[in-house]
Amino acid sequence: MKILITGGAGFIGSAVVRHIINHTDDSVINIDKLTYAGNLESLKEISRDPRYQFRQIDICDAQAVVQALNDFQPDAIMHLAAESHVDRSITGPAEFVQTNVVGTYTLLEACRQYWSALPEARKAAFRFHHISTDEVYGDLPHPDEMEGELPLFTESTPYAPSSPYSSTKAASDHLVRAWGRTYKLPVIVTNCSNNYGPYHFPEKLIPLIISNALEGKPLPVYGKGDQIRDWLYVEDHARALYTVVTKAQVGTTYNIGGHNEKKNLDVVMQVCELLDELRPKASRYQEQITYVQDRPGHDRRYAIDAAKIEKDLGWKPQETFESGLRKTVEWYLNNQEWVEHVKSGAYKNWIEQNYENRS
């Protein structure tokens, strides 16, 4: 099987590429614009594998996307390319509209053209897998707001996005489903909870806390830190995505979660406790916690019901939050050079010196 992955140099995308190359016999072409969060160093271990190719392509560039499709002749598309940081979407939403909405439209049209011309057998087997977020659903009741059993996001939860980021992802979900219904493009959609793990860009909560803690900087917590998220280890997510693209029926949607609802403050505290154990210093890391003004429109709780994917496809997470977080902290402690490269922009020089851009 040949799989074209968009955004394969990003955090989740690179985990998917590594999983496919390391654990299957399939081939991958990775197309990525290489924005600030796209990092080919995350793919160093598999970059020379003959089953892997990379092209630096913006998904808004229709001609380049069509050329990649025609050259590689994929059997499936896994669409992960997206701007994804909520804070950045609040201060600069235009880029999110361009990549997440216009880019998805451009990719869909290129894929429709490519798919329409395939022989019937390949056409029937083809899949367009769109990877999205649980943030499209808005937020859920918080334990402070109601008693009893709390609801979870299901595949039928109505969309109610709160941020420019989540609204552009919601728009892209709608486009994908519309292309499935109108043009019969064989689409699948997945919506995931918060990912964490190795190679995560240091602007996100867990790697930011690790990095700031080691540098003696404040550990910023929005508001009271009572926002609840469902945390999913990125390698569990990669397994789920590959399971979906190879087994799911056309037109289906799956929610993918880690069954790990945690308050942001509790996550920060757990990171601090692990650092106290693994990289002790004179004072405790939690003394660096600083409460900052809450983010505008901040959703209070996300939580996914992942029963459907377990029932239909047999997937469930292998990592608990405790085991996954320990692996994550240990990875960052052992890979500080990667972190510094990413933060300084030095990895762009590394690309030129160590990576053959097969364009």
Say if residues 128 and 108 touch (Cβ distance below 8 Å).
yes
Q: How confident is the model at residue 201 (pLDDT cuts 50, 70, 90)?
A: confident
Catalytic residues: 134-135, 165
CB 267 within 8 A of CB 226: no
Q: Tell me which residue of 140, 229, 114, 133 sits closest to 173, measured CA to CA.
A: 133
Pairing mode, if any, of strands 194-196 and 228-233? Answer: parallel
Query: What is the pLDDT at residue 356?
Result: 37
d(CA 323, CA 319): 6
Q: What is the mean pLDDT of residues 156-177?
A: 97
pLDDT tens digits, 295-317 = 888 889 999 999 999 999 999 99
91 pairs with which residues across the strands? none
Residue 39, in any domain of the structure = yes
Backbone angles phi, psi at 233, to 5 degrees: -65, 130
Query: Does residue 349 sit within a domain?
Result: yes
Residue 6 resides in a domain: yes
Q: Which pLDDT value is given to residue 326?
A: 98
Quote the Cα angle for 130-167-102, to 5°. Answer: 60
| pLDDT on residue 357 | 35
Residue 265 lies in a domain: no
The mean pLDDT of the chain is 93
Residue 339: predicted pLDDT:
85
Question: Is pLDDT at 249 greater than 80 in this prediction?
Answer: yes
CATH (domain of 125) = 3.40.50.720
Taking the C-alpha atoms of residue 290 and residue 277, their distance in angstroms, rounded to an integer, is: 21
In a domain, 251, yes or no: yes
pTM for the complete prediction?
0.93
Q: Does 353 have pLDDT greater than 70?
A: no
Look at residue 289 and tell me if it is in a domain: no
Say if residue 8's pLDDT is above 60.
Answer: yes
> Does the pLDDT of residue 144 top 60, yes or no?
yes
Average pLDDT over residues 270-297: 95
Question: Which pLDDT score, from 0 to 100, does residue 337 have?
Answer: 86
Residue 150 above 50 pLDDT?
yes
Average pLDDT over residues 122-150: 93
Tokens of 53: 């190719």
Which of 21-35, 301-315, 344-358 has the lowest average pLDDT? 344-358
Checking 170-178 for CB contacts under 8 A at 24+ apart, the result is: 170/136, 171/100, 171/101, 171/104, 172/82, 172/100, 172/101, 172/104, 172/130, 172/132, 173/130, 173/132, 173/136, 175/101, 175/104, 175/105, 175/108, 176/79, 176/104, 176/108, 176/128, 176/130
Note the pLDDT of residue 331: 97
pLDDT at 293 over 70: yes
Indicate whether 150 belongs to any domain: yes
Range of the domain at 21: 2-198+231-259+302-319+345-354
- Phi, psi for 206 (deg, rounded to 5): -65, -50
Query: What is d(CA 288, CA 219) in angstroms, rounded to the nearest whole number?
Result: 6
Q: What is the mean pLDDT of residues 68-77?
A: 98
State the pLDDT at residue 37.
Answer: 76
Question: In the predicted model, what is the mean pLDDT of residues 124-139?
Answer: 97
How much is the pLDDT for 345?
Answer: 62
Task: Output the 3-class SS for the chain.
Answer: CEEEEECCCCHHHHHHHHHHHHHCCCEEEEEECCCCCCCHHHHHHHCCCCCEEEEECCCCCHHHHHHHHHHHCCCEEEECCCCCCHHHHHHCHHHHHHHHHHHHHHHHHHHHHHHHCCCHHHHHHCEEEEEEEHHHHCCCCCCCCCCCCCCCECCCCCCCCCCHHHHHHHHHHHHHHHHHHHHCCCEEEEEECEEECCCCCCCCHHHHHHHHHHHCCCEEEECCCCCEEEEEEHHHHHHHHHHHHHHCCCCCEEEECCCCEEEHHHHHHHHHHHHHHHCCCCCCHHHHEEEECCCCCCCCECCECCHHHHHHHCCCCCCCHHHHHHHHHHHHHHCHHHHHHHHHCCHHHHHHHHCCCCC
Q: Is the pLDDT of residue 343 over 90?
A: no
Query: Within 10 Å of residue 59's Cβ, how many Cβ atoms?
Result: 26
The number of distinct structural domains making up the chain is 1
- Nearest in space to 83 (alpha carbons), one of 176, 203, 198: 203
What's residue 319's pLDDT?
A: 96
What percent of the chain has pLDDT above 90? 85
Check pLDDT > 70 for residue 354: no
Does 163 map to a domain?
A: yes
How far is residue 117's CA from residue 157's CA, in Å, rounded to a whole number?
35
